[in-house]
């Protein structure tokens, strides 16, 4: 029968797995605010995992299956998050290219109605 530290680690890794699936769902839907909140929650899970004196779960066969499931998902999340960030930067640059605050003062006079 597994001991308490094994069960604690298993529960934390299961929460990590669920949050990883949710991250992929929200990055696909471009729900970035929720995505960022989930990233923070997953970071808290990682902090709890690192605070464990030992992680006996990682030595078992269940870990190998979990690791094989999570790694490709994390790669997809990273790729999609980077793609969203690049797309957002391009859109932001396009919006700011129409910004006339740094343009010559003559443009302001041309836009006035007399």
How confident is residue 106, by pLDDT bands cut at 50, 70 and 90? low
Q: Is the dihedral of CA 27, 30, 31, 37 positive or negative?
A: positive
Cβ neighbours of 34 (radius 10 Å): 14
- Mean pLDDT (the chain, rounded): 85
Alpha-carbon gap, residue 114 to 101, rounded angstroms: 22
Residue 1 has pLDDT above 50, yes or no: no
| 62-100: pLDDT as tens digits | 999 999 999 999 999 999 999 988 988 888 877 766 766
Alpha-carbon gap, residue 63 to 79, rounded angstroms: 24
Cβ neighbours of 1 (radius 10 Å): 4
Residue 113 has pLDDT above 90, yes or no: no
Cβ neighbours of 36 (radius 10 Å): 13
How confident is residue 110, by pLDDT bands cut at 50, 70 and 90? low
Q: What is the CA radius of gyration of the chain?
A: 23
Q: What percent of the chain is modeled with pLDDT above 70?
A: 82
């Amino acid at each position: 029968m597994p001991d308490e530290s094994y069960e604690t680690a298993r529960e934390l890794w299961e929460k990590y797995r669920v949050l990883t699936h949710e991250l992929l769902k929200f990055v696909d839907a471009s729900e970035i605010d929720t995505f960022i909140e989930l990233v923070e929650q997953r970071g808290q899970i990682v902090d709890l995992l690192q605070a464990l004196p030992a992680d006996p779960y990682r030595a078992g066969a269940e870990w190998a299956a979990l690791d094989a499931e999570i790694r490709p998902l994390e790669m997809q999340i990273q790729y999609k998050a980077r793609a969203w960030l690049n797309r957002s930067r391009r859109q932001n640059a396009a919006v700011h290219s129409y910004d006339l605050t740094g343009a010559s003062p003559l443009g302001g006079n041309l836009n006035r109605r007399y």
